[in-house]
Amino acid sequence: MKTGAGKFRALIPFFLALGGPAFAAADAAKPNIVVILADDFGWGSSTPYGARGLNTPNLDRLAREGRRFTHAYAPSSVCSPSRYGLMTGRYYWRTAIKDGEVLTPTAPLHIEPGRVTLASLCQSQGYRTGAFGKWHLGFQAGATEVDWNQPLQPGPRAVGFDYFYGLGGNPGNGPHAFIENENVVGRIPGEKVVVASTGAKGTTTGLREQRVLDRIMETLTAKATGWIEANHATPFLLYFAPNAVHGPIAPHPKFTGSAYGSYGDFIHELDGSVGQILATLDRLKLAENTLVIFTSDNGGIVDAGNGNTGKAMEAGLAVNGPLRGGKHTEYEGGFREPFIVRWPGQVPANTVSDQVIALPDVLATVAAVLKAPLPKGAATDSFNVLRAFTEPTPGPPVRDHVIMQAADGTYALRLGDWRLIERIGAPKFEHRPTTKTAKKVHTGPTHDELFNLKDDPSVMKDLSATHAEQVAKMKRLLSAARDRGFTRPDTGR
C-alpha cells in the first residue's frame, strides 16, 4: 500500500500529461526580469522605429519576438527624474525637487528610505537583483556633496539591489572610475579620491587608473552577463542602464563605419550589448521564462550644432523620428520612448501596440506579474499595464492620462489623443543645490498649448484658441493630480 506521498509521486506523470500548461503557468509566475534603460536614445533611432541606414539586429529581434509600443512615455525629458519614476513608480516632482532638474553628480541618494522600488519588490519575492550602468540617483545621505572617500551608502543596495556595478552619473562626471556596491574601484590606498575636472577629458586623482571612455559599454555588458551566469539558479531582476548613447560619444573601436558617424557606431554598440544579454539568456536556456523590457530615459538631443547628434542629423538620421523636440524639451520628442517587451508565450510575438503606457508603470506591472500586492501608498503613479503587454487584440486603454515634466519644470499632460503644455498658472520653482543650475531650453509661446495627437502626431498645430474648454478641463486634471498625491486610482486601498 502506497503512502499519501507515494501516491502523489506515482501520479506526477499523470498530472504532467494532463496538466502541463498548469505546471508551465506555475513556472511562469516567477519569470526572470530584464529591464534595459538606454540613455538619451530617441524614438526614431533604431530600425524597429523606422530608422534607415542603421544596423540594429538585436532590437529588431526583440520587436520580432515581442511587442513594440508606439506611445510609451518617460515622465521627464531628462534622466534623473525618469530613473526615479522607473524605480519607484512615482513622479519625481512629488519629491523635494519640483523643478524637473537633473541631480548633480554629487547629490545624496534621492530615493527616500523605506520607499518600495522595483528592486525591493522583486527582492521581497525571493529574486536576486543586480544593477549595472548609470545610476544618477545619488549616494549617501544628509549632505549636498558625496564624499567619494567614504562608503557610498546608502546607495543602490539600500533600495533593493543585491549588487551594483556602474557609474555614479554620466561618463564625463567624476569620479572617473567604476563603482562597485559602496566603493570606488581602483583606489590607491592612503590617497584621497578627488575629482579634479569633469567632461570628456575629466580627471580624478587617487586612482590606480581611470576608466577608459570607449571601454565603458564593454565593461558594463561583461559585468551584467557575468552576473546572469552566476545568479540564474534563482529568479532574478537585471537592471541594465548603459551609458549609450549619452555623450561623450565614445563607441568601442570595433564599432565603426556607420553612415551616421560615431553616433551611429554608438547605437550599434548599444544594440550589440542588448545582443550579448539575449545571447546569455539563450545559452542558459532562460529566454522562454524571461520578461525583457527595452526602453530609454528620455528623447535624443536634436540640436544640429551639438557634437553628439549634429553630424548624424546632417547625414539624415531622424533621432526622434517625426516627433517635435527632443531631450530637455516639453514636446513629444523629449518624452516618447522606444519600448519593446518580449516574454515568450505571454506577449504575442511580432505585434505593435498603440496603448499609452509610461516608465513608472513598470513597477505596478511587475507586481502584477509576480502577484505581489503593493503596500498602501506605494508606487502612487504606477499603473498595472500587463494587459497591454499580453492582450491578443487591442482592448480599452490601460491608463487614461500621463503627466510629463520638462527640464525647466514645464508640465505637459496627455489625455486620450489630447496633449496640453501648461504655461499659464504653472507652479513656480526655486533652484536647489542638489540639482544642476536650471536652464531655460525654449523661447516659445507664453500661453498654454493644446495639440491633437491623432490629427497632428508631430504636435505642430496649437488648438488652444479654438478648444478653450478642453484646455480648462486638462488644467483642472493636472492641478488635481499634483494636489492629490497620486494618480493610480487604487493607490490608497
pLDDT tens track for 402-411: 999 999 999 9
pLDDT at 70 over 70: yes
Q: What is the pLDDT of residue 19?
A: 34
| Per-residue pLDDT at 144 | 76
**Closest alpha carbon to 109 in 80, 144, 138:** 138
- The confidence band for 8, taking pLDDT boundaries of 50, 70 and 90, is very low
Known catalytic residue: 246?
Answer: no
Stretch 61-74: mean pLDDT: 98
Question: Does residue 282 fall inside a structural domain?
Answer: yes
149 within domain boundaries: yes
Structurally, how many domains does the chain consist of? 1
Q: Exactly one of 71, 79, 176, 246 is catalytic; which is it?
A: 79
* Domain annotation covers residue 415: no
| Cross-strand pairs, 103 | 435
**Where are the alpha helices (H) located in 308-385, listed in sequence order?**
310-314, 332-335, 361-370
Strands 336-342 and 179-180: unpaired
Residue 20 pLDDT grade (very low, low, confident, very high; cuts 50, 70, 90):
very low
- Taking alpha carbons only, the member of 46, 55, 58, 245 closest to residue 133 is 245
Q: Flag whether pLDDT at 433 surpasses 70.
A: no
Strand segments (E) across 3-93? 32-38, 67-73
Do the domain assignments include residue 11?
no
User: Does position 443 have pLDDT exceeding 70, yes or no?
Assistant: no
For the chain, what's the residue count?
A: 493
Question: Is residue 481 scored above 50 in pLDDT?
Answer: yes
Q: In angstroms, rounded to a whole number, what is the distance separating the alpha carbons of residues 251 and 224?
A: 18
102 is a domain residue: yes
Burial class (CB in 10 A: 0-12, 13-18, 19+), 168: buried
The CATH number covering residue 227 comes to 3.40.720.10
Average pLDDT of every residue of the chain: 91
89 φψ region: left (φ > 0), alpha (ψ -120 to 50), beta (else) = left
pLDDT of 365 reads: 98
Q: Is 328 a catalytic residue?
A: no
Residue 413 within a domain: no
Which of 71, 110, 136, 328 does the annotation list as catalytic? 136
According to the model, what pLDDT value does residue 2 have? 37
CA–CA separation, 295 vs 37, rounded Å?
Answer: 5
Domain, as residue range, for 333: 29-396
Q: Which conformational region is residue 26 in: left (phi greater than 0), alpha (psi within -120 to 50 degrees), or beta? A: alpha
Residue 164 domain-assigned? yes
**CA distance readout (Å), 235 to 20, 215, 226, 278, 281:** 21, 29, 15, 16, 12
**Buried-state track 75-95, b at ≥16 Cβ within 10 A, e below 16:** bbbbbbbbbbbbbbbbbbbbe
> pLDDT confidence of 4, banded at 50, 70, 90?
very low
Give the type of residue at 308.
N
pLDDT beyond 60 at 15: no
> What are the CA-CA distances from residue 273 to residues 101, 134, 251, 342, 397 (Å)?
29, 15, 12, 16, 33
pLDDT at 492: 58
pLDDT of residue 490: 84
Looking at the domain assignment, is residue 472 inside a domain? no
User: Is 356 in contact with 402 (CB distance < 8 Å)?
Assistant: yes
